[in-house]
Amino acid sequence: MSGDIRRVGVVGGGQMGAGIAEVCARAGLDTVVCEADATAAHAARERVTASLDRAVERGRLERTAARDALSRLVFTGSLEDLSDRQLVIEAVIENAGAKAEVFTALDKIVEDPAAVLATNTSSIPVMRLGMATSRADRVVGLHFFNPVPVLPLVEVVTSLHTAPATVTAVEEFAARTLGKTVIHSRDRAGFVVNALLIPYLLSAVRMAESGFATAADIDAGMELGCAHPMGPLKLADLIGLDTLASIAGSLYDEFKEPLYAPPPLLQRMVEARLLGRKTGRGFHGYGQG
């Protein structure tokens, strides 16, 4: 079925949604990106354009290929424009209620009963979103990693209702059409990667919070002592501290294990809007905002 998926929709044009839309367009797909309104849709277009320009500047993409990719993208402020899509990937804020609302709306709008509705959630159970529709067998997790055009991994997450044909379709789509490496996870909060990664990041936050070591030393220790390409607090800043807190909260709600509990320092930083790279300041400063 993956060869038949040529019309893709992406709901949300933020960091993740824009990246997903970019890789779809670069793969030759007719891609529609839906944002909250026309202003947000314009910002999403600028985000994708800037990413394509960076890829050209760094020699990862030919200028003509970037232009072709952009020509395959449509940006809109109306979910109704996704009615003819064969695959819609939700990439809105990491909030169960907000995501469920999107799936309920898509269930009514997307006309093809065989269309797949996928979520890019980092931690929210896919079952919860599938049950917000009348087609839970066509709902699946399709979790990309940031930055989407660069990182090769996609997690395919199945709920108790997800049909085998749905799994096959998205696996082939991710692997063959987009050229990603696919791993599979059952439907538990955090899936594979975040279930392992988030406790590590939270441990680094607690170490900084306790005054045991500075953010710079914690990151240097893991980069130079363990050959990690990026220290845990730099990675937390890249992910976004609000997103990190949301994922940690989802994990803690499901498992009630202390290692998943968001530390007080993380919660205070989110309240202060010190969210990392996107606001110019988190555990490190980034000279903006």
Q: Which residues are the active-site residues?
A: 122, 143, 155, 194
CA separation for the pair 252, 273 (Å, rounded) = 22
Residue closest to 233 by CA, chosen among 277, 201, 274, 210: 201
The edge-to-edge listing of strands for the beta sheet with 7-11 is 73-76, 30-34, 7-11, 87-90, 116-119, 139-144, 153-158, 181-186
Distance between CA atoms of residues 120 and 7, nearest Å: 18
Q: What DSSP state is assigned to residue 27?
A: T
Contact 275/240 with Cβ under 8 angstroms?
A: yes
Whose CA is closest to 171, among 163, 180, 162?
180
